[in-house]
Structure 1
Amino acid sequence: MKKYAFNELTVLQYVFFIHGTQVGIGVLSMPRELAEEAGTDGWISILIGWVCATVASLLIVNIMKRYPGKTIVDLIPVFFGKWLGMVVSALVACYCALAAMTVIANGIGIVNVWILSQTPGYVLAILTVIPTYMVVQGGLRVLGRYAELIFYLTLWMPIVVFSILPYSNWLHLLPVLKDGWMPVFSATKSTILSFLGFELAFFLYPFLQRKQYASLGIVVANTLSMLIFMHITVFSFSFFSPDEITQYTWPTLNLWKVIEYRFLERIDIIFLAFYLFFLSTTTLPYMYFTVFTTSQMVGSADHRKHLFILMILIVVGAWLYTPTFIDLKKWSEVWSMTGMVGGYIIPVIWWLAIQLFRRGKGGQKG
């Protein structure tokens, strides 16, 4: 019997799992970050970031094809030994925990600023960890179904953005490459980091039912994320002037603030409420793989005890410490740097090592 048969994912769940992990905080701030680096040519950086993320994703899938029944946590002791493997596994768990904590803290900060300005952060943390525990305790299959459900529930959001078309000025996007290619390449850094989430394929591959579609699935997931990033970025560039957009911390929220209907005002509040579900599809996978890794380290198949402890630590941490906007930015930068190593650099090095090993054996498989 397969080790992970109980938590197997369908191809669609696999696609939406990775896509949901990618579409998180970046959607809110990406238009501003791109405008600061490359002006209204920043949309080109999204395409370059998509290419980089897709190449790295395919390398990860190609690597994991050699170990179809094992996750990265199973492989670490094989390559590093028992004790050094424990250290590396702990670093993997810390990376996943950092990603989850960064998204949770940013989500709480956004809600504090935009909706519940008088509500203490620890209260929002309690309201966050209760549904988080209920979903994550169900395991990977439940998370896959959850990601698929949230994708369908939020399909209306990109459609509503078309309401600003009459107020858009597409001349803001012209001329293309007004400052050359260097600003575009400089802005690519923020886009390739926004695609982080595909590195979870190191964990997901053995859970996939039809592994022959792993490459296609991860390309589709990256493409869906690219279309979302491109959609909101282009509309933001066309609505705000090139100088105005850099003044907003979260220009996507400001974009939704101007959308109104006769029967409904402040649709940005509704958007933010639904967007919290989007944030959860980023938080929950990293949360799950944090406790999945720690439970595997101690030889336990049940991750719920570790999850309960992590939830308590989050609430206590939110009660003792409220991060500032600068702190959140630093957390995001650390996550970005570690994600760059884990998502882009390590797959390239690992793949090259496999190719050199194969050549050393005369091209034989093994």
Structure 2
Amino acid sequence: MNSETREKLSPFHTTILVYMIQTGVMALILPQLLAETFGTNGWITVLGFGLISAVNILLIGAVYKLGKGRSIFQILAQSIPKFVLVPFYLAIAINCGMLGCLAGKEYILIFQMYAFPTTNPMEFKLIMDILVFWLLTKGLYNISKAATVFFWLFAWMVLLLFFFYVDFNWSRLTPFLFKGGHFSYLESFDIYSSFLGYEILLLAFGYMNQRTKFVKSALIGNGMTTLTYFYLSMITFGIYSLGQLKNKAFPVLEMLAYIRFPFMERMENLLYGFILFTSLFSIVMYEWCALEMLKQIFPKLKSNFLAFIVMAICYLIAFIPDTLNEVGDWLSTLSLIECGIAFGLPVLLIILLMFQNMGSSSSYEKNAN
């Protein structure tokens, strides 16, 4: 019996894993999206997006409870024929794999633009993909342990916001709510995509200890993400005017550039490197999701071989979009699909489980008679 079979995710590991999946490079863009979409005091809407994701987590928890801890693959296979499930699994694998691939490309392009403008970004992407592949081969439990270690290397950065209290001006948080914004559903989905990642818990049922209150753990992790985004957005809105926020592509990075230490120049480059820790686990978990789906389609192939194929294909696809705008357009489309999966798949599973439980009850009554 291997360690992946023996070891189960603890509540603490689950909380940190959810937080690390959700918190990523989108944090650098979030204040600008909030200002553009909702206008003045757009930072308040972060709480609403956090609430929506909490409702989605409760739906996932309902699947876990109704299914009594069974994996979603067992639930689906009981009611849906395999020839229907194979293209379904493949579609989810492609979407998740592409999300991880392009999230990594987005991070690399921003990092290259600010720190190494003359270096080929695909060289950095290759190094990142090798690290992602290495983590994939270690299994979910070891990924969660690594996420916990990297969490402590990243979490302290929230304290850096204290540097900006001197420049924070309450008058910029005007009494007018949502003035000057240009609301669109597409941009709202882009904002909500910064909370995505928790839906991968659907594939982690088999890795949960039956005594683990994983829904509570996931809600705590989502709450930590919501508070982090809320605090970051409020500080950003209090430092920049609405017009400035709309015109700045990466306001958080520009804020970090104002931090000065006597022993170091270009502090933002070092700090941006720390964001790699959380971006990495968003990428790893989406690729892990794609890998789990492919295991159902190709059960006879070794997991490490499938992981290599996934990462090789993702690396090749990453050559196609070569600008941030192109990557952003791809991510917007893929995130929209992922939002549909995040809500639609739990609803589908709950419906199937209700019918399955009704069928089990009917069979029991017939046998009793």
- Scaled by the length of structure 1, the TM-score of the pair is 0.90
Does structure 1 retain, via aligned residues, the 8 Å contact 2:39–2:180?
A: no
| Correspondence for 1:330 | 329
Give structure 1 stretches of 5+ with no counterpart.
none
| Correspondence for 1:277 | 277
| Correspondence for 2:342 | 343
Does structure 2 retain, via aligned residues, the 8 Å contact 1:38–1:184?
A: no
- Matching residue's letter, 2:91: L
Give structure 2 stretches of 5+ with no counterpart.
none
CA offsets 1:62-106 (integer angstroms, 9 cap, x no match): 112233443333433333211111111111211210211121110
Provide the C-alpha distance between the structure 2 equivalents of 1:45 and 1:117, rounded to a whole number of angstroms. 35
Question: Cα distance 1:317–1:362, how it changes in 2: closer, same or farther (>3 A)?
Answer: closer
Question: Cα distance 1:180–1:110, how it changes in 2: closer, same or farther (>3 A)?
Answer: closer
- Matching residue's letter, 1:328: V
Provide the C-alpha distance between the structure 2 equivalents of 1:282 and 1:2, rounded to a whole number of angstroms. 25
Provide the C-alpha distance between the structure 2 equivalents of 1:146 and 1:191, rounded to a whole number of angstroms. 27
- Matching residue's letter, 2:79: F
Provide the C-alpha distance between the structure 1 equivalents of 2:261 and 2:294, rounded to a whole number of angstroms. 49
CA offsets 1:228-250 (integer angstroms, 9 cap, x no match): 11121111111111100111112
Question: Cα distance 1:354–1:295, how it changes in 2: closer, same or farther (>3 A)?
Answer: closer
Provide the C-alpha distance between the structure 1 equivalents of 2:349 and 2:20, rounded to a whole number of angstroms. 26
Provide the C-alpha distance between the structure 2 equivalents of 1:88 and 1:147, rounded to a whole number of angstroms. 29
| Correspondence for 1:138 | 138
Q: Would you say how many aligned residue pairs link Structure 1 and Structure 2?
A: 365
Superposition CA RMSD, Å: 3.0
SS in 2 for 1:334: helix
Does structure 1 retain, via aligned residues, the 8 Å contact 2:43–2:237?
A: no
Does structure 1 retain, via aligned residues, the 8 Å contact 2:11–2:213?
A: yes
Does structure 1 retain, via aligned residues, the 8 Å contact 2:136–2:284?
A: yes
1:63 and 2:63 equivalent? yes
Question: Cα distance 1:94–1:72, how it changes in 2: closer, same or farther (>3 A)?
Answer: farther
SS in 1 for 2:166: helix
What is the Cα deviation at residue 362 of structure 1? 9.8
What is the Cα deviation at residue 132 of structure 1? 1.5
Provide the C-alpha distance between the structure 2 equivalents of 1:250 and 1:211, rounded to a whole number of angstroms. 43
Provide the C-alpha distance between the structure 2 equivalents of 1:86 and 1:147, rounded to a whole number of angstroms. 31
CA offsets 1:88-141 (integer angstroms, 9 cap, x no match): 111121121021112111012112211111111221122112222222210111
CA offsets 1:194-228 (integer angstroms, 9 cap, x no match): 21111111111221124441121111011011011
Provide the C-alpha distance between the structure 1 equivalents of 2:298 and 2:281, rounded to a whole number of angstroms. 27
Provide the C-alpha distance between the structure 2 equivalents of 1:26 and 1:212, rounded to a whole number of angstroms. 30
| Correspondence for 1:50 | 50
| Correspondence for 2:168 | 168
| Correspondence for 1:106 | 106
What is the Cα deviation at residue 176 of structure 1? 4.5
SS in 2 for 1:73: helix
Provide the C-alpha distance between the structure 1 equivalents of 2:12 and 2:301, rounded to a whole number of angstroms. 26
Does structure 1 retain, via aligned residues, the 8 Å contact 2:133–2:311?
A: yes
Provide the C-alpha distance between the structure 2 equivalents of 1:160 and 1:85, rounded to a whole number of angstroms. 47
SS in 1 for 2:40: helix
Matches within 5 A, 1:1-366: 5-177=5-177, 179=179, 189-300=189-300, 302-318=302-318, 320-348=319-347, 350-351=349-350
Provide the C-alpha distance between the structure 1 equivalents of 2:125 and 2:53, rounded to a whole number of angstroms. 32
Provide the C-alpha distance between the structure 2 equivalents of 1:249 and 1:180, rounded to a whole number of angstroms. 18
Question: Cα distance 1:208–1:239, how it changes in 2: closer, same or farther (>3 A)?
Answer: same
Does structure 1 retain, via aligned residues, the 8 Å contact 2:96–2:287?
A: yes
Provide the C-alpha distance between the structure 2 equivalents of 1:126 and 1:181, rounded to a whole number of angstroms. 39
SS in 2 for 1:193: helix
- Matching residue's letter, 1:325: L
Of 267-276 and 307-316, deviating more is 307-316
Question: Cα distance 1:140–1:7, how it changes in 2: closer, same or farther (>3 A)?
Answer: farther
Does structure 2 retain, via aligned residues, the 8 Å contact 1:11–1:217?
A: yes
Does structure 2 retain, via aligned residues, the 8 Å contact 1:76–1:89?
A: no
SS in 2 for 1:9: coil
CA offsets 1:150-177 (integer angstroms, 9 cap, x no match): 1111121000121011011121112152
Q: Percent identity?
A: 20
Provide the C-alpha distance between the structure 1 equivalents of 2:180 and 2:124, rounded to a whole number of angstroms. 45
- Matching residue's letter, 2:164: I
CA offsets 1:7-31 (integer angstroms, 9 cap, x no match): 5211111111111111112201110
Question: Cα distance 1:362–1:45, how it changes in 2: closer, same or farther (>3 A)?
Answer: farther
